[in-house]
Structure 1
Amino acid sequence: MTLLGRLLRNRRAGEAHSAWHQPHLRGPELLTLTSQDFEDGAAMALRNCAKHIGGTDLSPHLAWTPPPPGTAQLLLVVEDIDIPLAKPAVHCLALIDPAAGQLEPGALSARHPGPGVRVLRSTVGRGYHGPGPIKGHGPHHYVFQLFALQTPLDGTPLDGTPFDGNSSEGTPSDGAAPAAPPMDRARPRTLLATVPPPILGRARLTGVFER
């Protein structure tokens, strides 16, 4: 595996295709995003990394300054911009109630999201997936990007209730399990393309991990 990483060392998705550089997601950098678990540009802890490399897939603590007036929702996008693919891998995609102020560790869990968090589909499954880069590929940068949306992505603001995928809303009369709404089934790139402008404010925080 180390040999494969070395062979692919110069192949990286790059930042140009990240959410941050998409024209419709550009906006004033009025927010500040921080974490108690790592500083911007510093290494991430193993507990925040993928299980297959010995981590626990625990999403890190995140906090942000108050969003601009008129913010209906916050959109969090976590991307690995160094993966040896054509585009960055989305490690987490979530909608957050602007009133939340911060996310405790583990709040981006697919099974037990934090209050006011609606976890959407990422590149692999749903919820937060920690760093697990190819051994020998060099440092990978995991960019946590927070966008303040004027218009809710799903057309309705969050009410602070965590989304667990088991809501009784829309349950068929025959008792069958309810189908997930289209937004919760959408691939992350497809969903990001539908984010309505304008972006009222945004911020980013980068963690690094290498094997």
Structure 2
Amino acid sequence: MTLDRPIPPDPYEMLPPVPSFTLTSDDVRNGEPMDARHAHPSVGGENLSPHLAWSDFPAGTKGFVVTCYDPDAPTGSGFWHWVLVNVPVGVTELPRGAGAATSDDAAGKGAFTVRSDYGQQGYGGAAPPPGDRPHRYLFAVHALDVESLDVTPEATPAYVGFNLAFHTLARAVIRPTYQVTG
């Protein structure tokens, strides 16, 4: 049973515009369904964050934040699946599974995750309601004008997003989908 509600806009379209740069993945593609390995265990997935690689970001970039957000979640506020903060400028690729709560080392010294909307550190995979339409998962890399945001691991994703509004030089996004049938 598909929930009867309008498709929300892309949240990045509602923010002040910033330039884009190149974001690629060996695992996910714009508009294409994600493999179950990137879904949450509650829907039979492996909870592995996808491989992400980025390039061509602005010359003044001093650091990055990586996020995954589902604007289609039936919550009124979407659902944050992953917020990886303070990735050093020298890190331009994350291997598959780098979002595990214990693997922040893959993101470089000083990087950490804040709690997802699952209430846990690290990546939490896709888990839309069974039978609902395909949900969009916005994997974004935000190029920053600072080496680190002044936030702690106890910050909420919304608070990180608020801070991003003042420090994002450019943003690159891949928008795969996921659906649980039946």
Which bracket does the TM-score occupy, shorter chain normalised? 0.7 to 0.9
Please, what is the CA RMSD of the aligned residues? Answer: 1.9
CA distance in 1, matches of 2:60, 2:175: 27
CA distance in 2, matches of 1:22, 1:126: 27
Q: TM-score, normalised by structure 2?
A: 0.87
Q: Does the 8 Å contact 1:67/1:98 carry over to 2?
A: no
Equivalent residue in structure 2 for 1:68, among 58, 66, 72: 58
C-alpha distance after superposition, 1:151-194 (max 9, x if no partner) = 23435xxxxxxxxxxxxxxxxxxxxxxxxxx6210111122112
Q: Does the 8 Å contact 1:47/1:55 carry over to 2?
A: yes
How far is 1:66 from its partner? 3.6
Please tell me whether residue 121 in structure 1 is matched to residue 115 in structure 2. yes
Quick one: percent identity of the two aligned structures?
Answer: 28
Indicate the residue corresponding to 2:162 in structure 1. Answer: 193
Q: TM-score, normalised by structure 1?
A: 0.76
- Gaps of at least 5 residues in structure 1 are 156-181
CA distance in 1, matches of 2:131, 2:13: 28
C-alpha distance after superposition, 1:24-45 (max 9, x if no partner) = 5x3111x111110122111100
Indicate the residue corresponding to 2:41 in structure 1. Answer: 51
Matches within 5 A, 1:21-32: 21-23=13-15, 26-29=17-20, 31-32=21-22
Larger Rg: 1
Indicate the residue corresponding to 2:149 in structure 1. Answer: 154
Equivalent residue in structure 2 for 1:40, among 30, 37, 50: 30
Letter in 1 for 2:98: A
Letter in 2 for 1:28: P
Q: Does the 8 Å contact 1:141/1:209 carry over to 2?
A: yes
Q: Does the 8 Å contact 2:88/2:147 carry over to 1?
A: no
How far is 1:57 from its partner? 0.5
Indicate the residue corresponding to 1:162 in structure 2. Answer: none
Q: Does the 8 Å contact 2:22/2:57 carry over to 1?
A: no
Indicate the residue corresponding to 2:177 in structure 1. Answer: 208
Indicate the residue corresponding to 1:110 in structure 2. Answer: 101
- Gaps of at least 5 residues in structure 2 are none
Indicate the residue corresponding to 1:144 in structure 2. Answer: 139
Between the two proteins, the alignment pairs up a number of residues equal to 175
